[in-house]
Amino acid sequence: MGEFDLIRRYFLPLVGQRESRSLLLGPGDDCAIQRIPPGRDLVFSVDALVEGVHFPRNYRPDYLGWRALAVAASDLAAMGADPECFTLALTLPAVDECWLESFSRGLKSASEAFGLALAGGDTTSGPLTLSVQVHGTVESGKGVRRSGARPGDLVAVSGTLGNAGAALDYLSDPAPSADMLAVLEHYHRPRPRLDLAEAVRQFASAAIDISDGLLADLGHILAASEVGARINSDRLPLSPALSRLKEGRAIDYALRSGDDYELCLCFSAENWDRAPELLKSQVTLIGTVEAEPGLYLDGEHWALEALPSGFDHFRSES
């Protein structure tokens, strides 16, 4: 099977998985065309995933297809944007029809689940690498940035933290406990918080998705907003499985591990008061924004530079 047949068989079925309100022309021409409705902005983000770096070697292709789109879609949720479409640049060592069938199945489930239609792509031979760019839209000027946190704001996180990080330690466990099966699901099937996007853009002053761990990603908000924060680790929301881990380990996962793709959000007290119960039921307040730079974690002060700066793919060379 050649490149063109491959695209036709495995990827074209993903076109128009949903009514994309804005996609006028999908794959097959020199470019795709999107018509952004008047009064809305285009919001877009690209993520690269490399075998052996962002996902394990010989990772299940259907999990990979889901994951590639989930990771990128999470950035749309963090801006408060509604999903529209995506492009996929896929580099494959060889045409393995079983692999492609499984990969495209995972990608299709994610495409349906997240409401993202395939707009275009490029498929070539080479080491297994994916690059996914997602496009969303938001009312003009309403995209939520990292830089909007103000002293007095409340700091919140969605869902529960640390599950995917714990899962990574159990990926090769041949007989995982029921608890670990539950957290493995978080790693294999991350669910970007697109369900919160509307509430984020209506109520949040700043937002980021937690891909590198809470300390690193909250650090990015604090740096961009030129503020500090005070948070308490005993307020961090944990899943039942993590709560049963030995003391300290769950908190460590929750503070330092990413891959959950939950959101870290800031709200002015006024906006928090008028936020709907639907939002409040999905997020947990963990602290406050302060004027003094740096982070007070359980009363201990960390300079911003002392916080982990996120997963650095080149740290060994630095």
Contact between 57 and its own copies per CB under 8 A: no
Contact between 189 and its own copies per CB under 8 A: no
Contact between 123 and its own copies per CB under 8 A: yes
Q: Angle 66-69-75 (CA atoms, 0-180°, nearest 5)?
A: 135
For β-strands 117-125 and 82-92, DSSP reports them as parallel
Mark 230-269 with x for binding to its own copies (rule: CB under 8 A) and - for no binding. Answer: ----------------------------------------
Cα 225 from Cα 150, distance rounded (Å): 7
Contact between 207 and its own copies per CB under 8 A: yes
Stretch that binds its own copies, among 123-131, 239-247, 249-257, 300-308 (CB under 8 A): 123-131
Interacting residue with its own copies among 120, 162, 190, 258 (CB under 8 A): 120
Stretch that binds its own copies, among 120-128, 149-157, 182-190, 249-257 (CB under 8 A): 120-128
Contact between 54 and its own copies per CB under 8 A: yes
Contact between 314 and its own copies per CB under 8 A: yes
149-168 residues near its own copies, rule: CB under 8 A: none
For residue 114, give the 3-state DSSP assignment.
helix
User: What is the closest distance, in whole angstroms, from the C-beta atom of residue 12 to its own copies in the complex?
Assistant: 14
Q: Which is nearer to its own copies, 3 or 173 (CB)?
A: 3
Interacting residue with its own copies among 153, 209, 262, 290 (CB under 8 A): 209
For residue 166, give the 3-state DSSP assignment.
helix
Q: Report phi then psi at 203, rounded to 5.
A: -120, -25
Which of 3, 39, 32 shows the shortest CA–CA distance to 16? 32
Q: Which is nearer to its own copies, 81 or 116 (CB)?
A: 81
User: What is the closest distance, in whole angstroms, from the C-beta atom of residue 121 to its own copies in the complex?
Assistant: 6
Cα 137 from Cα 126, distance rounded (Å): 33
Q: Which is nearer to its own copies, 25 or 181 (CB)?
A: 25
At residue 153, what is the residue type?
A: D
Contact between 125 and its own copies per CB under 8 A: yes
Contact between 227 and its own copies per CB under 8 A: no
At residue 81, what is the residue type?
A: A
Q: Report phi then psi at 50, rounded to 5.
A: -115, 135
Contact between 318 and its own copies per CB under 8 A: yes
Contact between 28 and its own copies per CB under 8 A: yes
92-111 residues near its own copies, rule: CB under 8 A: 92, 94-95
For residue 266, give the 3-state DSSP assignment.
strand
Residues 6+ apart with CB under 8 A from 277: none
DSSP 7: I
Q: Is 126 left (phi over 0), alpha (psi -120 to 50) or beta?
A: left
Interacting residue with its own copies among 47, 82, 260, 262 (CB under 8 A): 47
Exposed/middle/buried for 12, CB within 10 Å: 0-12, 13-18, 19+? Answer: middle
Cα 298 from Cα 300, distance rounded (Å): 6
Q: Which is nearer to its own copies, 1 or 269 (CB)?
A: 1
Stretch that binds its own copies, among 36-44, 103-111, 158-166, 267-275 (CB under 8 A): 36-44
